[in-house]
Structure 1
Amino acid sequence: MLRTVIVVSLLLLASCQSEQGAPTPQFYASENPHSLSEWGMLRVTRETLLTGFDVEPYDLNTPLFSDHAGKFRTIWMPEGASARYSEDGVFDFPVGTVITKTFYYPIGEHGQLERGDLPADIWAAPGTLDMTRVHLVETRILVRRETGWVALPYVWNDEQTDAVLMRTGDMQHFTLIDDGHAVEVNYLIPNANQCQGCHATNNTTREIQPIGPAARHLNRDFDYADGPANQIEHLVAAGYLTGAPASGDAPRAPDWTDTSVPVEARARVWLDINCAHCHNPAGPADTSGLYLDPGTPMGPNFGLCKVPIAAGPGSGGHRFDIVPGNPDESILIFRMESLRPDIMMPELGRSVVHDESVALLREWISGLEGDCS
């Protein structure tokens, strides 16, 4: 009888610990689970968004702009699997890798939603979101299967307890408060085809792959549960990355908001993360002749005095992509300031103008020497 009581007590204790603790990640080789929680990568418990066992949070030096949403990123690989380091491109991730990106808006002290791309105290603990301070919108999963990468969008329910697969996408409206002013956002949750529009970075193969997890974007510190550490070194120590040099010998992209960095470097890294997945020699915009990747030298291919090949209304009547010293005559600025679907760039992921990045690129172009005569 006593043995039975002990066994039952242990089972109840284990169940309680499982309910309150981190979930166990699961790789689905072919199925697409209906609920995000079935993956075991993230879980809401009481007032906290937890990561699963061995699920590593990470961040980027300069993130993609997405209608002022904040982003919480994680990566997980099956036991014994690891990615191979690449100095220039995205790491070579093994089958079974699951990458998540959760989009959210902070909740202000009066219950209003605020910009998530500005500093906010939303961390219950390092790498753990405080659910009383954030409104979760969606979680996008990239899973590496035998046939390649697959993108799956999950939309969080009104109760903020779980997210549901929505492959057809969705549109949600939010009013954000920014320094006392209301910003109206028509937030687009992409469908499967729209995911491919950004993540199929090679126009020949049209294969989906991650964009952010490259050395230059990951080479920075992150505040982990056991203290701050360089992300590349942390991934190596966790067994998730092989072949990496010391972080000091790896490339590092700047933070585009760091005013101590030269304005050209800040402008180029913003264009890299926001535009280069399409505008590169092999990307979906390869026929444009405008390449905004880090490997393209400053010159006509980077837009300087370059005549657009087929911009249509996207030119706004301007002749060149970038006119040194004259942002108002530059097509690049015209398209970044537009909200017309057939004109605006980037064409996905935003319904508002990102004023701060426009100001940065205006400053950069204003300081460029030369002319297009």
Structure 2
Amino acid sequence: MKQNYKLLSRIFLFSAVLAAATFIGCSKDEDEYIEPIPEPVVSPVTVDLTKVPYDSLSKYHFFDGEGEIIAAMKDLSPSLDVLPYAPASALFSDYAHKKRFVWMPKNTKATFNSDGTILELPVGAVLIKNFYYDNVQNIANVGGRRIIETRLMIRKSEGWIFADYKWNAEQTEATFDLLGSFTDVVFKDDNDVTRTVNYKIPNESQCVICHKSRDINDVTTYIPIGIKPQNLNNNYNYGTETKNQLTKWIEKGYLDSNFTFPTAENTTIDYNDTSQPIELRARSYVDINCAHCHGVDRHCDYRPMRFAFSETKDNLANMGVCVNTEDMQSFPPSLSKIVNAGRPENSMLYYRINTTNETYRMPLHGRTVLHDEGIALMRDWINSLDRCD
């Protein structure tokens, strides 16, 4: 009996040890952490080239933001793969602020032609430019922001198309509108000066004037303006880092890594930077504000000026310096030269940027008020030149 008891005890003990070992082994397997396979991160952006332009801006999902908290569209928080950018100098648009972005389809990138020409973006790419005012005084939320419009240029297989979206008063949506319109804006500028503008949202034909170009076969196409390497060869604050924009495009996969950066002398500057030589500031100003029309095969190519940054270095005649004016409309006879060196009051260029009269003002579109800072810059530059006679 005792032997049977001992045998049973040993069997029980062995069974218990075996069970414990088995339990421990199973527990180890069950408790072991296995790294889950992450879901692929996919951009929400939707650009169906067979359906664009959409009737509303929200359908593109450019501004859904990233992360768990979805941003409101009016925050202009870019979705995944929507990359912000800014040219060194900005085209003046009645003191409106701008936020610019670029988006490209997966596994596509821009190609480089030259410093003085735009980057060649792939089919499916979209350029996004938002126009807005801060410190607006004539809205319910006085002192707040009002987004006026979002302009898109979309690259389709047959070329670039325009799409403009006008924001509603609630700032919750923007709807497709290429008919053009005006809207009054009262705001305080960066110097706390209250200004009033009758802001002009362009119609499609006005978009064409600034963006058209003729090729060697005299076929008119539309092209962007600001995405030249010379305009992007500067640092940009991306929030988490500050980096050269061209470097960021390469890292993002939006530009070939074998791209050759523009030299310093071929890089535009911020024309508002008073620490820079006044000639560089003036050349950068006319490059971004005037060159898209005053160039070969552009809208105003019949005029002698060639305002592109690459064409004004060591060639002041291309900026109109001491160049005689032609019989142009009914201008005052004292305006005998496009730029009368040392005499801004006798310069056609200065006269035309210093008026709001639609018959005479320059640029033709995008401006309804005087650009005080730009006028002062060009006046000081003209005064810095040796006189023509």
> What's the TM-score, normalizing by structure 2?
0.80
Aligned position for 1:256: 271
Aligned position for 1:118: none
User: Does the 8 A contact of 2:138 with 2:185 survive in 1?
Assistant: no
Aligned position for 1:100: 128
SS of the residue 1:344 aligns to: coil
Amino acid at match of 1:49: L
Q: Cα RMSD between the aligned structures?
A: 2.5
Distance in structure 1 (CA, Å) of the matches to 2:165 and 2:243:
30
1:287-311 Cα deviation digits (max 9, x unpaired): 1112211233424332112122342
- Residues 155-304 of structure 1 aligned to structure 2 (within 5 Å): 155-178=166-189, 179-202=191-214, 204-242=218-256, 243-246=258-261, 251-297=266-312, 298-304=315-321
State the 1:133 CA deviation: 4.3
SS of the residue 1:257 aligns to: coil
User: Does the 8 A contact of 2:137 with 2:188 survive in 1?
Assistant: no
User: Does the 8 A contact of 2:339 with 2:347 survive in 1?
Assistant: yes
State the 1:47 CA deviation: 6.9
Q: Which has the higher contact order (CA 8 A, sep 6+)?
A: 1
1:324-348 Cα deviation digits (max 9, x unpaired): 1111110111111111111000111
Higher mean displacement: 219-228 or 185-194? 219-228
State the 1:314 CA deviation: 4.6
Aligned position for 1:125: none
Aligned position for 2:100: 73
1:229-248 Cα deviation digits (max 9, x unpaired): 11101100111111412577
SS of the residue 1:283 aligns to: coil
- Specify whether residues 331 and 249 from structure 1 end up closer, same or farther in structure 2 by C-alpha distance, changes over 3 A only: closer
SS of the residue 1:57 aligns to: strand
Aligned position for 2:339: 322
State the 1:278 CA deviation: 0.5
> Within the alignment, does 1:85 sit opposite 2:92 as a pair?
no
- Please say which structure displays the higher CA radius of gyration: 2
Aligned position for 1:14: none
- Specify whether residues 60 and 343 from structure 1 end up closer, same or farther in structure 2 by C-alpha distance, changes over 3 A only: same
State the 1:202 CA deviation: 3.8
Distance in structure 1 (CA, Å) of the matches to 2:351 and 2:80:
46
User: Does the 8 A contact of 2:131 with 2:150 survive in 1?
Assistant: yes
State the 1:251 CA deviation: 3.8
SS of the residue 2:330 aligns to: helix
1:149-196 Cα deviation digits (max 9, x unpaired): 001110001110110000111111111224454322011111111101
Distance in structure 2 (CA, Å) of the matches to 1:283 and 1:24:
33
1:183-233 Cα deviation digits (max 9, x unpaired): 220111111111011011448432111100111111111111431111101
Distance in structure 1 (CA, Å) of the matches to 2:307 and 2:348:
14
Aligned position for 1:50: 77
Distance in structure 1 (CA, Å) of the matches to 2:174 and 2:321:
44
> Within the alignment, does 1:137 sit opposite 2:148 as a pair?
yes
User: Does the 8 A contact of 1:104 with 1:134 survive in 2?
Assistant: yes
User: Does the 8 A contact of 1:23 with 1:51 survive in 2?
Assistant: no
Distance in structure 1 (CA, Å) of the matches to 2:219 and 2:92:
26
Distance in structure 2 (CA, Å) of the matches to 1:77 and 1:250:
30
User: Does the 8 A contact of 1:153 with 1:169 survive in 2?
Assistant: no
Distance in structure 1 (CA, Å) of the matches to 2:254 and 2:335:
48
- Between the two proteins, what is the percent identity of the paired residues? 31
More strand by share: 1
Structure 1 stretches of 4+ with a deviation exceeding 4 A read 108-114, 246-250, 314-317
Aligned position for 1:123: none
User: Does the 8 A contact of 1:314 with 1:342 survive in 2?
Assistant: no
1:89-123 Cα deviation digits (max 9, x unpaired): 10011100011000000136997999xxxxxxxxx
Distance in structure 2 (CA, Å) of the matches to 1:354 and 1:74:
25
- Specify whether residues 318 and 110 from structure 1 end up closer, same or farther in structure 2 by C-alpha distance, changes over 3 A only: closer
Q: 1:348 aligns with which of 365, 384, 389?
A: 365
Q: Alignment length, in residue pairs?
A: 335
- Specify whether residues 325 and 22 from structure 1 end up closer, same or farther in structure 2 by C-alpha distance, changes over 3 A only: same
> What's the TM-score, normalizing by structure 1?
0.83
- Specify whether residues 342 and 296 from structure 1 end up closer, same or farther in structure 2 by C-alpha distance, changes over 3 A only: same
1:107-153 Cα deviation digits (max 9, x unpaired): 36997999xxxxxxxxxxxxxxxxx9421100000000011000111
Aligned position for 1:129: none
Aligned position for 1:36: 57
Aligned position for 1:25: 46
State the 1:60 CA deviation: 1.1
Distance in structure 1 (CA, Å) of the matches to 2:112 and 2:103:
16
SS of the residue 2:133 aligns to: strand
